[in-house]
């Protein structure tokens, strides 16, 4: 066995060639999406009215634990993968912990986050289906950027419905998407029926994610040759993200390293489940045991304080019902800077894993996440995305526990992205203006009442 | 021999352990810096009044072709190196060229550019000397960011004199430096004598690089325990950057690839010479032949239209005289977006190599650089720094020549950094508002008159 390097990077011929679908190994499968009107499970026909065919096929079938990654997708993966597993030696030293801290770095691609891992296959399948374009919605800009990059790779048209306030304030994100050829639409727009309606009613609205979703869905259903692509929630997306965990596992095994604790930030759950699913699979099958922790913000605590029930995926209550841990579709999160962690629900897979006690969850404050981010930046030389900082915070906490107990645990987390587009948030941090938001018990209770009763 | 992967990344144990000093192999050595008053070569004592001792030692001696990289520097290099050599297959395909295009990607670290490669050793040597801090000037922000990151690694204080207009307009860059703990000073400041003087005379000045240099130099000479660190020009800096070329050469040799054409953008010349020097060394010794091209903007054509003469390094004419290709120290470059390519002179090493016809130089327009950048982004999925786009443009031109002739040449360039902090420039590009600037013959002639006569 060679000496363990600081960065473990699989070679091209060591790259995994298949994704892992954890549903095949789950004893209790995630519940299907339901039609909000009929309360019946959504069919292939229902879903392909909006989404691409192959993605829907993957969403609806989960008999195979491993799914081949198409050659054309592998060709793109090879341009930025394998991503490194990095030992955070300087962070360990700073903390004075006997623990070994490892992180999988998913921020070194043009989209600056892990989102590209799923948008590449989604774009590929759309192209293969003969579609002419893909459409999605974006607020923080992560999904939008990944979508624009993936569409450029496959010569697809690309429409991004960007929440108006983000369109105006996140100019850098907007311009990256445009550089990659995307048509970035300030939502509500004047192109869609729903956009026109909302603009007429609320001319000065800053827009909302709910509205942007509705606009993107309208484009996907009414314009010829467009498919809606997704950044999270869908089981197919979580499966594509398993590339993170498969690479990590293989990289660590090369040096005989077994993680004791596995950590990821979670909103829909795509980067968290992407890292954790191959390890959870082993846990289910009794091959190995791991502590696996999903981290969410106190400002949006769907796992730790939400209800496990069927709920609407959108504020407008027009999208399908998903069985998930949810705060209620009417939840309006505080304006925290981890824009990717503001969703009211958790993906059906991660929700079921939590219900089955295969994973833990913890909610942390915004200030503690930024403190962890600053310490990480100064020691490891990487500016983390505010979302990823939630995972860093818990990794640090666990490493400090090891300092107390003297345990030499292996702590692994996923750095889902970098924070170079989040400097306004870091400016606030530098100026000591980051605030904490905690949802009150009254609010949790009030919102729970909006969750429909589905038998 | 294994199949050539898309990304060639040396493993940790393959990393070069020594820098290469091309001066040792140059037949005509670069001319020494002169004291502007006495016109005598600067001594160790002169230079250490401002700069750190070990860096000055390296600057003044060049008897050894290889210099050991300290273990502490290697420990930091291992956190982000080796950087990948990437085959730009999708770009080749788009161009329809039989050429193979390779690029060395130096943008995947917290400073987003190659600058960190030299700031790490400079910070390390300052720490070892027992200094308490490092100081530098910055306009575009690349050097400042790398300095702040390196100072965090070695627990040094860090002061960055940032040209006032950049301080105000490049808020993201400023905040990254602050996050890493730097004291970012809007220049002219109220802390230094020169700053006070300029503020009194010109209260609303946007500042200038010349003034920021003077302020940083004043801090280095008057404050206890501070050394001035540099992003380019110095031969020691160019030597540190040889890590780029040494890694590239070793990576390509693993797959039996010999580059025919080697390309880098050049202002001071640190990334260009960093990549090219190990290859130029072979050229000097007759081991191998290569075409080596330095690319500069038409708006600042020091090599292609400047004069090879001793000139002041700064507008204020207080810094040392360097023998270099220069447009004249009074040259005020047009406001091009490649902020790192606006210096009036070229480093003494690169100037001498050009004088000796070991390298070629070409000047290109700003619009052609941005067009190349956009094509590169869409095909290779990386947003390049506007500086690096100059190298991309010439790589594309050479690849298109191969298309005409049918030659299967290997074209290699260095991607010195990414453009995520340059989105305002890309916004202009997206809106078709990028302009070209060419220096007139009259201007070149007028400026040449400011170059002093030194025998």
H helix intervals, B294-385:
302-305, 348-355, 366-380
pLDDT, tens only, B365-398: 999 999 999 999 999 999 999 999 999 999 999 9
- CB atoms A429 and B179 under 8 Å: yes
Nearest CA in chain B to A84: B80
Mean of the pLDDT values across residues A98-122?
A: 96
The shortest CB-CB distance from B426 to any of A11, A179, A383 is to A179
Q: What is the separation, in whole angstroms, between the first and last Cα of chain A?
A: 55
If you compute the radius of gyration of chain A from its CA atoms, what whole number of angstroms results? 21
Interchain proximity B172–A420, CB inside 8 Å: yes
Tell me the C-alpha to C-alpha distance, in Å, between residue B142 and each of A139, A296, B166, B173, B218: 29, 34, 12, 8, 21
Task: Encode pLDDT of A365-417 as tens digits.
Answer: 999 999 999 999 999 999 999 999 999 999 999 999 999 999 999 999 999 99
**pLDDT at position B27 over 90:** yes
Model pLDDT, residue A18: 98
A12 in contact with chain B, both atoms CB, cutoff 8 A: yes
Average pLDDT over residues A290-308: 97
B30 — pLDDT class (breaks 50, 70, 90): very high
pLDDT confidence of A341, banded at 50, 70, 90? confident
ipTM of the complex: 0.96
**Whether A172 and B176 lie within 8 Å, measured CB to CB:** no
Query: B393, B95 in Cβ contact below 8 A?
Result: no
Which residue matches tokens 């170079």?
A420
- Check pLDDT > 80 for residue B2: no
pLDDT for position B140:
83
Report percent pLDDT > 70 for chain A: 100
Q: What is the pLDDT of residue A339?
A: 82
User: Which is nearest to A160 in space by CA: A142, A236, A240, B376?
Assistant: A142
Please check the confidence at residue A2 and state whether its pLDDT lies above 80.
no
Residues of chain B with Cβ-Cβ distance to A379 below 8 Å are 152
Structure confidence by residue, pLDDT tens digits, A206-243: 888 888 988 999 999 999 999 999 999 999 999 999 99
Q: Across the interface, which of B3, B7, B378 has its CB nearest the CB of A180? A: B378
User: What is the sign of the dihedral through the CA atoms of A297, A299, A303 and A304?
Assistant: positive
B382:A110 CB<8 A: yes
Q: Model confidence over B237-268: pLDDT tens digits?
A: 999 999 999 999 999 999 999 999 999 999 99
**Which backbone phi and psi does B265 adopt, to 5 degrees?**
-75, 155
Based on the number of CB atoms within 10 Å of its own CB, is A224 exposed (0-12), middle (13-18) or buried (19 or more)?
Answer: exposed
CB A320 within 8 A of CB A220: no
CB contact under 8 A, A78 and B6: yes
pLDDT tens string B419-448: 999 999 999 999 999 999 999 999 999 999
Of the candidates A6, A379, A382, the beta carbon closest to that of B12 is on A6
Residue A336 pLDDT: 82
Q: Is A149 on the interface with B (CB under 8 A)?
A: yes
- Tell me the average pLDDT of chain B: 95
Lowest mean pLDDT among B57-71, B199-213, B369-383: B199-213
Alpha helix ranges (H) inside B204-339: 209-222, 235-254, 270-284, 302-305
For B381, the closest of A11, A80, A383 (CB atoms) is A80
pTM of the model as a whole: 0.97
Residue B36: Cβ within 10 Å count: 18
Closest CA to A397 of A419, A378, A371, A377: A371
pLDDT at B454: 85
Burial of A63 (0-12, 13-18, 19+ CB in 10 A): exposed
Cα B229 from Cα B147, distance rounded (Å): 8
First to last CA, chain B: 55
Nearest to A178 among B75, B78, B430 (CB): B430
Is the model's pLDDT at A3 over the cut of 60? yes
Tell me what pLDDT residue B117 has.
98
Nearest to B152 among A78, A378, A424 (CB): A378
Indicate the pLDDT class of residue B332, thresholds 50, 70 and 90. confident
CA distance A112 to chain B (A): 10
Nearest-CA distance from A188 to chain B in Å?
22
Strands of the sheet containing A291-297, edge to edge, are A7-8, A85-87, A100-105, A410-415, A261-265, A291-297, A360-364
User: A103: how many CB neighbours lie within 10 A of its CB?
Assistant: 27
Q: What are phi and psi of A392, to 5 degrees?
A: -60, -45
Q: Are the beta carbons of B120 and B73 closer than 8 angstroms?
A: yes
Contact (CB<8Å) B78/A380 = no
Taking residues B120-129, what's their average pLDDT? 98
Does B181 contact A at CB distance below 8 Å? Answer: yes
Distance of CA A179 to the CA centre of its chain: 24
Are A430 and B172 in contact (CB < 8 Å)?
no
Which residues does chain B have within 8 Å of residue A117's beta carbon, measured at their own beta carbons? none
Question: How many Å apart are CA A298 and CA A436, to the nearest integer?
Answer: 8
Rounded Cα distance between B360 and A227, Å, is: 50
Q: What is the pLDDT averaged over residues A432-441?
A: 94
Does pLDDT of A1 surpass 80?
A: no
* Residue B123 · residue B134 · CB < 8 Å: yes
Residue B370 distance to chain A (closest CA, Å): 11
Q: CB atoms < 10 A from the CB of A307, how many?
A: 15
Residue pair A311/A326 in contact by the 8 Å Cβ criterion: yes
Chosen for mutation from B381, B425, B429 (greatest number of chain A CBs closer than 10 Å) is: B381
Taking a C-beta distance cutoff of 8 angstroms, is the pair B205, B181 a contact?
A: no
Contacts of B5 in chain A (CB under 8 A): 11-13, 78
Q: Which residues of B touch A178 (CB under 8 A)?
A: 427, 430
- For residue A455, pLDDT beyond 90: no
pLDDT for the residue A36: 87
The DSSP output letter for A255 is: T
Contact status, residue A362 vs residue A394, Cβ threshold 8 Å: yes
Q: Which residue of B has its CA nearest to A80?
A: B7
Q: Is B93 exposed, middle or buried (0-12, 13-18, 19+ CB in 10 A)?
A: exposed
Q: State mean pLDDT over B319-342.
A: 88
B interface mutation test: which of A5, A76, A168, A176 has the most B CBs within 10 A?
A: A176
> Which segments of B381-440 does DSSP mark as H helices, in order?
386-405, 423-430
pLDDT, averaged across chain A: 95
Identify the band that residue A144 occupies on the pLDDT scale cut at 50, 70 and 90: very high
Q: Give the least confident one: A114-118, B33-37, B269-273, B406-410.
A: B33-37
In whole angstroms, what is the distance from residue A140 CA to residue A268 CA? Answer: 14
State how far residue A238 is from chain B, nearest Cα, in angstroms: 22
pLDDT digits (tens, 9 = 90+) for A19-59: 999 999 999 999 999 998 899 999 999 999 999 999 999 99
Q: Is the peptide bond before B262 cis (omega within 30 degrees of 0)?
A: no
Beta carbons of B86 and A79 less than 8 Å apart: yes
Please give the domain boundaries of chain B with CATH numbers for all domains. 18-66+115-228 (3.40.50.1100), 79-112+242-448 (3.40.50.1100)
pLDDT at B1: 57
Residue B112 Ramachandran class (φ > 0 left, ψ -120 to 50 alpha, else beta): left
Task: Classify each residue of A326-357 as buried b or exposed e, where b means 16 or more C-beta atoms within 10 Å of its C-beta.
Answer: bbbbbbebeebbbbbbbbbbbbbbbbbbbbee
pLDDT of residue A338: 83
What are A319's two structure tokens? Answer: 């999208």
With 80 as the cut, is the pLDDT of residue A191 above it?
yes
Find, in chain B, the residue whose alpha carbon is nearest to that of A86. B79
Over the stretch A74-90, which tens digit does the pLDDT of each residue have?
999 999 999 999 999 99
> What is the tens place of the pLDDT at every residue in B144-174?
999 999 999 999 999 999 999 889 988 999 9
How close B311 gets to chain A, by Cα (Å)?
A: 37
* Per-residue confidence (pLDDT) for residue B56, from 0 to 100: 97
DSSP classification of residue B288: -
A433 CB within 8 Å of a chain B CB: no
Determine the average pLDDT of the residues in A320-326.
95
Interface-testing mutation among B179, B374, B427, with chain A (most A C-beta atoms within 10 A): B179
Tell me the chain B residues in contact with residue A79 when contact means C-beta distances shorter than 8 Å: 6-7, 86, 90, 380-381
């Amino acid at each position: 066995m060679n000496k363990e390097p600081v960065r473990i990077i699989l070679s091209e011929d060591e790259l995994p060639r298949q994704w892992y679908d954890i549903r095949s190994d789950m004893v209790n499968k995630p519940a299907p999406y339901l039609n909000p009107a009929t309360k019946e499970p959504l069919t292939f026909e229902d879903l392909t009215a909006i989404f691409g065919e192959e993605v829907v096929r993957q969403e609806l079938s989960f008999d195979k634990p491993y799914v081949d990654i198409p050659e054309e997708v592998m060709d793109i993966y090879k341009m930025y993968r394998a991503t490194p597993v990095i030992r955070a030696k300087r962070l360990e030293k700073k903390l004075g912990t006997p623990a070994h801290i490892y992180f999988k770095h998913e921020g070194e691609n043009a989209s600056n986050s892990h989102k590209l891992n799923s948008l590449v296959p989604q774009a590929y399948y759309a192209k293969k289906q003969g579609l002419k374009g893909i459409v999605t919605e974006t607020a923080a800009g992560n999904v939008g950027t990944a979508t624009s990059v993936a569409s450029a790779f496959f010569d697809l048209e690309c429409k991004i419905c960007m929440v108006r306030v983000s369109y105006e304030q996140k100019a850098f994100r907007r311009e990256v998407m445009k550089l990659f050829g995307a048509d970035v639409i300030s939502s509500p727009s004047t192109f869609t029926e729903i956009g026109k309606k909302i603009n007429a009613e609320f001319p000065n609205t800053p827009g909302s994610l709910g509205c942007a979703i509705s606009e993107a869905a309208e484009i996907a259903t009414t314009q010829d040759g467009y498919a809606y692509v997704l950044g999270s929630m869908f089981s197919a997306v979580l499966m594509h993200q398993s590339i993170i965990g498969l690479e990590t596992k293989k990289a660590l095994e090369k040096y005989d390293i077994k993680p004791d604790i596995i950590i990821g930030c979670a909103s829909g759950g795509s980067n968290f489940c992407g890292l954790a699913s191959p390890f959870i699979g082993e846990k289910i099958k009794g091959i190995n045991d791991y502590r696996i922790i999903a981290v969410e913000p106190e400002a949006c605590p769907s796992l730790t304080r939400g209800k496990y029930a069927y709920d609407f995926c959108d504020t407008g209550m027009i999208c399908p019902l998903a069985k998930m841990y949810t705060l209620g579709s009417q939840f309006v999160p505080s304006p925290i800077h981890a824009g990717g962690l503001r969703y009211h629900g958790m993906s059906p897979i991660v929700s079921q894993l939590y219900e089955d006690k295969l994973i833990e969850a913890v909610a942390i404050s915004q200030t503690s996440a930024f403190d962890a981010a600053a310490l990480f930046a100064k020691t490891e030389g990487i500016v983390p995305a505010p979302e990823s900082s939630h995972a860093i915070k818990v990794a640090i906490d666990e490493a400090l526990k090891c300092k107390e107990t003297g345990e030499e645990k292996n702590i692994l987390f996923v750095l889902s992205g970098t924070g170079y587009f989040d400097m306004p948030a870091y400016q606030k941090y530098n100026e000591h203006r980051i605030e904490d938001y905690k949802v009150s018990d009254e609010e949790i209770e009030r919102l729970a009442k909006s969750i429909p009763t589905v038998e």
